[in-house]
Amino acid sequence: MNSRNKSLILPLLLLLVALLVADGVQAQRRRSRGNQVFRAYPAIGATASQMRGDELRGFKKWGISAGVGAMLSLSNDNMWQLSVEADFAQRGSQNKTHDPYRLLGFTMNYVDIPLTFHFTDPYGGITVGLGLVYSRLVQQPHGTMYYTPNYFIPDTSDMSFDKNDFSAALDFRFPIWRGLTVNFRFQHSLLPVKKNWGFTEYRSAAAGGVESWTNNCYNSSISMRLLYVFGDSKHTRHRYNKPSPNKKKKRR
C-alpha cells in the first residue's frame, strides 16, 4: 500500500471512531427510553459494472454482491443513521462485440467496506445515503481477453491493478415489508485503479497510420440488493407519518 492510500485510510478510521464515541451518551439515553440503537442486516444481490478508461462503454459486466452490515441511529427519531458494512463484490469489464475489441470474463473480486450516512424521509420511508467505500482487491483480473489485432489492441503485458480502491457512493433504500428493503447503490472510484494502460490503434496510411495512448482506469458500478434489517419488523413504510400525540381530538 503506498503512502497516499495510507493517508486516506487513517482519517476514515478516525472519523468512524469519533462518531461512535460522540454518539455514546445519546445512545445510552435512547436505550433507556426503549429505542433500538443498532440494527444488523445481511445483504445479497447483483452488480453491473464498467471500467472507465478501458475504451469500452456500458455497465455490461455482471457479478454478485453479498455481505453484512449494521445501522447506528444518530437521532431519537431514526431519521439520521450511520451504516458500516463488509461486502464481497465483483467488478470488471465485458463486451461481446468487435467494436473496438472483444473482452470476455474480465472479473475482479473485491472486499468492500462502505461507511455511509443516511437520511430517512419521515413520510415515505425512503432512505438516501452518501458515503465512502474502501475496497480491497482480493483477486487480480482473471478471464480471457480476445481482440482483433488488425486495428485495435489493448496492452495485456501487465494486467495488475492497484489492490486498494477508494470510491464515493450514493445509496437509496426502499422498504418493502417489515425489515425487508431494496437497496440501490452507485459507486465510482476517486483514484485510478490502474494507471497508464496502453492502447494502440492501427489505421490506414491515409488516416495517419499507428496511434498509441494511455488511460487511467476507474471502477464504476451499480448494485441492486435485498436487505433484511433485524429488529425493524415493527417499523412500517410510513412509520413517521403518524398524528402528533399532542393533537387534540375533535369533538363529536
Instruction: Record the pTM.
Output: 0.76
Q: Is residue 92 part of a domain?
A: yes
pLDDT score, position 38 = 81
pLDDT score, position 93 = 87
Q: Is residue 113 part of a domain?
A: yes
Q: What are the grid coordinates assigned to 102, written together?
A: 472483444
pLDDT in tens, the chain (252 residues): 555 554 555 555 555 555 554 455 444 445 545 556 788 999 999 999 999 988 887 898 999 999 999 999 888 888 999 999 999 999 998 876 666 666 666 799 999 999 999 999 988 789 999 999 999 999 888 776 665 555 667 887 888 899 999 999 999 999 998 889 999 999 999 999 999 998 887 766 666 678 889 999 999 999 999 999 887 655 444 444 444 455 555 554
Q: Is residue 249 part of a domain?
A: no
How many domains does the chain contain in total?
1
The vertex-151 CA angle with 150 and 153, nearest 5°, equals 95
pLDDT score, position 205 = 61
Q: Is residue 238 part of a domain?
A: no
Structural domain containing residue 62:
3-228
List the CATH number of the domain containing 149: 2.40.160.20
Q: What is the pLDDT of residues 93-106, one digit of tens each?
A: 887 666 666 666 67
Helix (H) or strand (E) holding 14, with range, is helix 3-22
